Amino acid sequence: MSELLMCPICREALHLDGKTWQCVNRHSYDQAKQGYVNLHVVQHKHSKNPGDTPEAVAARRRFLSSGTYQPLQQAVSELLHSISAKTLLDIGCGEGYYTQAMGGVVPQVVAVDIAKSAVQTAAKQAQQSNENNKAQNITWVVGTGAVLPVLDQSMDVCSSLFSPLPKAEMLRVLKKNGYLIIATPAPQHLFAMRDALFDEVNAHEPDKFVTQMSPEFSLISKQIITTDLNLDQQQLTDLIAMTPYAWKAKAEKRQALEAQQTFQLSASFCLFLLQKCVD
């Protein structure tokens, strides 16, 4: 496997020597026992514990492990199959549900998230499952989108699934004609849940992200993936906890919804494929 990681301090290539990543300037980063490396240096931190809370990470792991969002996971894998990528950077990988699937398609994957607890969970899960050694082709990194921890023009694909879109950094790390995969809520995503939590519900506007990426990226394809869900109480509670609605909704509305024994709703996603059209 070729070396893809970049030192966040001096931007030189990082090399793995035993359990330590090191650059030519002798900046070094130890690989944790769970198998990840922390490249989120203090110079780039704006808070002590950025990103999702451990509670939100645990809720997302439980919810996604039940297979509720499997249609989206499958659609992402099929999209990657169609472009025959060799290297991929998953931005905002979270606890790794989608990343693990992408690692089954792409030979080399770097997965980055700003939340240390999320990357710890993902790396530990990968170690435990390690099905057919697929997990070994994923490098798990704690890092920030402000300085993506990979070398210039080293990636065939960047993916951002419900995560930020650091445009300038993605342009830096993508190869010429590289691809960008974006997954974001479709207009009616989780409408029934949002309607129960808020007095007023606005439709999501997924196409704004395509506009945001223009003109440096051109749209290749757009898919809408919709799946009907019949959630039990635990799944419903976890779904709320893993979204921003957990802290945006009024406490009494959240409590009333979480008291439901079952809840039916539709999840609807937009999956975009864009291509870099500048050098």
The C-alpha atoms of residue 182 and residue 10 are separated, in whole angstroms, by 29
| Whole-model pTM over 0.85 | yes
Residue type, 236: L
Contact 257, 236 (CB under 8 A): yes
Exposed (0-12), middle (13-18) or buried (19+): which is 157, by Cβ within 10 Å?
Answer: buried
Contact 112, 20 (CB under 8 A): no
Start-to-end Cα distance in the chain: 25
* Structural domains in the chain, sorted by start: 35-276 (3.40.50.150)
The C-alpha atoms of residue 102 and residue 94 are separated, in whole angstroms, by 14
Contact 37, 18 (CB under 8 A): no
Between 96 and 52, the higher pLDDT residue:
96
DSSP, collapsed to helix, strand or coil, labels residue 190 as coil
Report whether 277 belongs to an annotated binding site: no
Residues near 236 by Cβ (< 8 Å), separated by ≥ 6? Answer: 193, 257, 258, 260, 262, 263
Length of the chain: 279
Report whether 29 belongs to an annotated binding site: no
The C-alpha atoms of residue 144 and residue 68 are separated, in whole angstroms, by 28
Owner of token pair 């509305």: 253
55 CB neighbour count, 10 Å cutoff: 12
Average pLDDT score, the chain: 91
**Averaged pLDDT for residues 166-188:** 97
**Token couple for 6:** 């970049």
Is the bond preceding residue 215 a cis peptide, omega within 30 degrees?
yes
pLDDT on residue 130: 62
**Closest Cα to residue 91, out of 83, 99, 82?**
99
230-253, pLDDT tens digit by residue?
999 999 999 999 988 888 889 999
**The three-state (H, E, C) secondary structure of 90-127, written as one string:** EECCCCCHHHHHHHCCCCEEEEEECCHHHHHHHHHHHH
64-91, pLDDT tens digit by residue?
999 999 999 999 999 999 999 999 999 9
pLDDT on residue 246: 82
Report whether 96 belongs to an annotated binding site: yes
Contact 183, 76 (CB under 8 A): yes
Percent above pLDDT 90 for the chain: 82
pLDDT on residue 49: 54
Angle CA(209)–CA(211)–CA(215) in degrees, nearest 5? 125
Q: Is 24's pLDDT higher than 80?
A: yes
pLDDT band at residue 50, thresholds of 50, 70 and 90?
A: low
**Closest Cα to residue 89, out of 74, 61, 107, 109?**
109
What is the Rg, in whole angstroms, of the alpha carbon atoms belonging to the chain?
Answer: 19
105-150, pLDDT tens digit by residue?
999 999 999 999 999 999 998 888 765 444 579 999 999 998 999 9
Report whether 46 belongs to an annotated binding site: no
Report whether 7 belongs to an annotated binding site: yes
Report whether 178 belongs to an annotated binding site: no
